[in-house]
Chain A
Amino acid sequence: MKLWSRGTSSDGATYELYHASDVHGSDRCWRKFLRAGSFYGVDGLIMGGDLTGKAIVPIASSDGAYEARLLGETRRASSPAELGELTDAIRFSGMYPWVASPNDIARVERDNQAQHELFERVMLDELARWIALADERTARDKIDCFVMAGNDDPWSCDEVLSSASLVQHCDERVSYLGPHEMISLAFSNPTPWNSPRELDEDALYGKLKALAEQLDRPQTSIFNLHVPPYDSGLDTANEINPDLTLVYKGGQPNPIPVGSTAVREIIQEYQPLVSLHGHIHESRGEARLGRTLALNAGSDYNSGQIHGVIVRLATDRVLSYQFVVG
């Protein structure tokens, strides 16, 4: 039995990339992602989508005292330093802190439109801050950095991503990583959450096909597709009812494949070197679809640890890959 494969490139050229996905607003994970290039010594960073957070934690401010509920606990702060610690802990967990008076919090709580506007404002402000930081780090580290949104990210994020000067907004286009071409797509197939970027399988296949047709050398390319291929082992999640409650069978949650058949089909058709996925946080792993190595680095963003995978590529094959949690 061959325990581990050892490889060298026939022409000596290698490209090493670090891929992570689904940081969902975790400031800490984002900063670790930006640091991963120099830490792991890779040539390029790829962020596979779902950048924005899912929750805002209101911090009630009253007479210099602050109070918030975080992960089921009441947290209090009574000085700027303690407030800083509290907001850091909120950001660490992938949520957005929002300091406001109890009256403002109560007002927003009652008003869906106000919450919607608050989310847009907070998310975009935070994303703009992230992208500015990424431009700065990319320039310093002289490294490729590719970023795209995911199905959970609102469309307004794209404008912020496209405003970057060095970070490359790679969604729905062909990008270049050394000798490799890469296509990227943020869309997923339909989910029970009715998230912003979903397409039915036929429409998804159409988009993927149009992108893949732009490749000169599909066999040496990279597919950076947010949603994993259907029934690949990278897409197993517990079945959810339309009301977002768990489906129980025999008293237990029911794990099912929830990936995209269109993604599976396009990978099998074009057989890229490697396909990179996210979306299903709990399905970290690898799979082989023909000659293509499909990888899902998974995500555990609210622990403050970023799940990623380092892939070392020769021109015509994958030399090695390594899952890491940083």
Chain B
Amino acid sequence: MVDSSGQAEVATPKTSAGLFVRNATGLVRGVPPRSGLIMNFIPGHPTQTLAAVLFFALALNPGGNFFLSIALVLPMTLAFAYAFGLLTQMIPRSGGDYMLVSRVLTPAWGLVSSFCMTMALLLSNAYLALAFVTVGLGPGLTGVGLIAGSHTLVSWGATVSVSKGWELGLGLAMFAFAGLVQLGGWRRLLRVQAVLFWMVTGSLLVCGIIALFMSHGSFISSFNSFARPHTHLANTYAAVIAGGVKAGINVSPAFSFAHTIPVIGILATTAVYSYYTAFVGGELRQASTVKTSNMMALGGVIPLVLVFIFGVIFFHTFGGAFLRAANGGGMPSQIAVTNTPFFFLVAAALNNTVFAVVVFLCYIGFWPLLAYLNTLQQTRMLFAYSFDGILPKRVTRLNGSGCPYIALGIALLASAGVLVWAVYVSTFFQVLAYATLIQLIAMMSVGVAAVVVPARRPELFRASTSQIRLLGIPLVQIAGAAAIVSGVLIWAIFLHYKSLGIAGHYGAFAAWSAGTVLAAAAFYFVVRTVRARQGVNLAFVYREIPPE
């Protein structure tokens, strides 16, 4: 197209989807919608919900209806997904709640929100490290050891599950893995993410399919055959249920709505976080389209549907009374595996060592997978801080693969610090409860931003693809209001029900959450003052230029 004078004509126009377009250089973003969907799916992955949370919740809350709790959590999931998603469509930049809240509400509020989100994800990382050892590796080693007849593995499993040293060491190793994955840049990261995701999901699918085609009677028979050499009982299955009853578990409870509510709270610890692509909004392909919020919604709904389906299968094949009893302390000590995860029961029924090893290895991949995703959030948030001038520019330095290695180092060090607290000072459920409730402060802040965005940023709203209305009301406002209501409900559940980890720690929790909020506000005002002395007006970062 270059002519003899060295000049070129406009490139030949084309027609595309109702547009006339011409050839021109363009932006191609790195994260395709498929990878975005996986990112949003991971926090609520059914493996975690089924293995680490749900059945334990049922044992603690007899009569709580598992299916009703899923139905009640679903609108909450959608509310948070659409509040984050529709705002991200309007402001497609990396940084998540910090970016959304600071641009729509106020900078200080944005800092408060992101400090809460970061604190929650540091706590969440600590929880994941504990879960990796106590409900992943420990039970896995014990389970495989039992099936393989290896006393060594059983002993390792028992040791790992109760040793604070192992919890800390293996948790730190998991953080190191999360860091190494990210150091390789987006390509390696998305590849590892896809591999781990399909390993974890594949193991669930295989276990689910096997359980689906195994009758209840056949499971009982197979389980008893597996257990007999260990328990020397003819009917261990019945003994488990009897053991549960003896331990005070109501194994066949009548429906209780009061006990369904705490199950909602526990389910909410995994099921309402399908907005992770908000943190990489600036790297997401087609971020300005409704695909962004739909991928968040799907990332929340599909796991819940799978929890429902696999829950039905496992309840049917294993038996509800058995599951409640097994998770409530009814398993004979010779075959007791913490949490009695589904993969152990399927592998035990098959009594196949190779299958047990493969499924176990796939199953434990979940925790490093989510830990990397949490760390990714923190690096993107630190990156956004640095771009805004809140942190030094050097925090944005990238290695050769495009990874912000200084931000990553800060995030991992902070995670390690919180892990030490989690291992030596707190309890498992306390960490989970703190993480959930502090994160909800940030999530409700996004809800507030979603409610007010049509009024505070009217032109941004009008020009966006986020103008879908229900009964004449913008969906973003409905989602925002529903997110606030959901957040308040989950807070109320956690504060009311003693079994959820907050009881006895109200003072400590208040100190954690208030400290986080105050630290954020103080940090913002100090930085703003320092930067003003350097001739940099931090307020410019957050203000929209009024167009002529």
Contact = CB atoms under 8 A, between A and B. Distances in A.
A238 B11 contact: no
B465 interface: yes
A152 B7 contact: no
Contacts of A279: 25
A32 B545 contact: yes
A46 B3 CA distance: 29
Contact of A303 (B24, B25, B30, B288): B288
A93 B462 CA distance: 11
Interface in A87-102: 88-89, 92-93, 95, 98
Contacts of B213: none
Contacts of A72: 17, 289-290, 465
Interface of B: prevailing SS = loop
A10 B365 CA distance: 59
Contact of B187 (A194, A199, A240, A252): A252
Contacts of B288: 71, 302-303
Contact of A250 (B191, B543, B548): B191
Given A250-B191, A253-B28, A306 B23 contact: no
A69 B17 contact: yes
Contacts, number: 211
A7 B288 CA distance: 39
A233 B545 contact: no
Contacts of B153: none
A4 B290 CA distance: 39
Given A54-B24, A303-B92, A306-B545, A199 B18 contact: no
B465 A73 contact: yes
A54 B290 CA distance: 22
A3 B392 contact: yes
A196 B28 contact: no
B546 A39 contact: yes
Contact of B11 (A88, A193, A285): A193
A304 B459 contact: yes
B399 to A, nearest CB: 10
Contact of B463 (A32, A68, A93, A250): A93
A128 interface: no
B92 A238 contact: no
A109 interface: yes
Interface residues of B, number: 69
Interface string B166-192: 000000000000000000011100110
A116 B534 contact: no
B13 A68 contact: no
A310 B535 CA distance: 11
Given A95-B19, A196-B9, A252-B191, A326 B26 contact: no
A36 interface: yes
Contacts of A209: none
A197 B28 CA distance: 21
B536 interface: yes
Interface string A237-275: 110100000100111111100000000000000000000
A76 interface: no
B8 interface: yes
A282 B547 CA distance: 23
Contact of B548 (A31, A50, A154, A300): A31
B58 interface: no
Contacts of A250: 187, 191
B93 interface: yes
B522 interface: no
Contacts of A1: 392
Contact of B20 (A118, A151, A325): A118
Given A238-B28, A255-B185, A69 B191 contact: no
Given A195-B25, A250-B187, A255-B185, A155 B18 contact: no
Given A198-B8, A236-B402, 6 more contacts: A1-B392, A4-B392, A40-B540, A155-B9, A199-B6, A325-B93
11 contacts: A4-B392, A5-B534, A58-B19, A68-B18, A194-B23, A233-B398, A238-B28, A252-B187, A255-B30, A312-B535, A320-B535
Interface of A: 1, 3-7, 24, 28, 31-32, 34-36, 39-40, 50, 54-58, 68-69, 71-73, 85, 88-89, 92-93, 95, 98, 108-109, 112, 115-116, 118-120, 133, 137, 151-152, 154-155, 188, 191, 193-199, 203, 233, 236-238, 240, 246, 249-255, 279, 281-282, 284-286, 299-300, 302-306, 310, 312, 319-320, 322-326
